[in-house]
Amino acid sequence: MKGKFEAAAIRGVGIGLRAEHYDHIVENRPDVPWFEALTDNYLSSAGRHLRYLERIREDYPVTLHSVGMSLGSTDAFNMDYLSRIKQLAERLQPAFVSDHLAWISVEGKYLNDLMPFPYTEETLIHMAERIRRVQDYFGRRILVENPSNCLSFRFSTMSEAEFIREVATQADCYLLVDVNNVYVSAMNSGFNALEFLGALPAERVKQFHLAGYEDRSDYLFDTHGYPVHDPVWKLYETALERFGPVPTLIEWDTDIPVFEVLMAEAHKAEECLREVE
């Protein structure tokens, strides 16, 4: 079903759309260039969330970001889930549709969390094929995001950055680089974040995510419940220098603050973006 919206390119710094801010956005129409909706919250055919999203879409471009495609899973695709995303995308005409390089299900049982996988040739071929199939079904390229990792597999045969570069090339998809996740994984796994960014194919990087991690002394945990930390801002500046003024999202998922806090984070990111525009 074709909707009433036309696809629009995005630029600048968007904000993750959360239910806590629906009324504020509708009533005040804040100066935000675009919003990213968590796709999974809008897959019903009706209801309050979808009503708000459609209302907000009237005023802003949106992107759709999901967690359930299970691109690394060895299960068959959940076609009901994919078809709902496809319908939603046709209705809202988002600038981008994205999900994660992860798996969440096996034998039809879902863990509903982003699970890690080994960086091997087998996984690479498998995931690239799955991404291609999703893109064929949607009739559009998708963006895939690097998750944060708290463990690695001893038998991986390539680095995460090599894996992402290869999977993007083989699948012919775009990349959503979560700068916070790069930093968290680099600190946790001991790789060089700058080398990681340097290994990614610049022409495929179409969006950044920025968020806050939690420092648990032994390791960093990707909670999305804090302001963006200073080292992540620095890494973001480096990423902008390498990839250019890529549309960037301020993401906040736990202990969600008032909208003004997100706006302040977005303004900081805008200042960084302007430096490279």
β-bridge mates for residue 37, sequence order: 64
> Is residue 10 a contact partner of residue 95, using CB atoms and an 8 Å limit?
yes
Measured from the CB atom, the residue of 6 and 218 that comes closer to another protein is 218
Measured from the CB atom, the residue of 12 and 118 that comes closer to another protein is 118
Measured from the CB atom, the residue of 216 and 267 that comes closer to another protein is 216
Q: Does 28 bind another protein (CB under 8 A)?
A: no
Which residue stretch of 57-65, 115-123, 173-181, 233-241 sits at the interface with another protein (rule: CB under 8 A)?
A: 115-123
Q: Does 199 bind another protein (CB under 8 A)?
A: no
Measured from the CB atom, the residue of 7 and 125 that comes closer to another protein is 125
Which residue stretch of 6-14, 106-114, 168-176, 196-204 sits at the interface with another protein (rule: CB under 8 A)?
A: 106-114
Please calculate the CA angle 68-246-223 and round it to the nearest 5 degrees. 45
Among positions 221-260, residues that touch another protein (CB under 8 A) are 221
d(CA 188, CA 218): 8
Which residue stretch of 1-9, 170-178, 183-191, 235-243 sits at the interface with another protein (rule: CB under 8 A)?
A: 183-191
Measured from the CB atom, the residue of 5 and 81 that comes closer to another protein is 81
Measured from the CB atom, the residue of 91 and 206 that comes closer to another protein is 91
Q: Is 160 helix (H, G, I), strand (E, B) or coil?
A: helix
**Identified binder of another protein from the candidate list 63, 98, 105, 146, rule CB under 8 A:** 105
Q: Does 103 bind another protein (CB under 8 A)?
A: yes
Which residue stretch of 2-10, 69-77, 239-247, 259-267 sits at the interface with another protein (rule: CB under 8 A)?
A: 69-77
Which residue stretch of 88-96, 121-129, 227-235, 240-248 sits at the interface with another protein (rule: CB under 8 A)?
A: 121-129
Cα 237 from chain centroid?
A: 18
d(CA 233, CA 211): 10
Closest CA to 182 of 171, 191, 174: 191
d(CA 198, CA 195): 5
> How many residues line the site for another protein (CB under 8 A)?
53
Long-range Cβ contact pairs of 108-116 (< 8 A, separation 24 or more): 108/75, 110/68, 110/70, 112/67, 112/68, 114/67, 114/147, 115/72, 116/147, 116/149, 116/150, 116/151, 116/152, 116/153
215 contacts: CB under 8 Å, gap ≥ 6? none
Binding site for another protein (CB under 8 A): 40-41, 43-49, 67-70, 72-74, 78, 81, 103-113, 115-118, 120, 122-123, 126, 149-155, 185, 187-190, 218-221
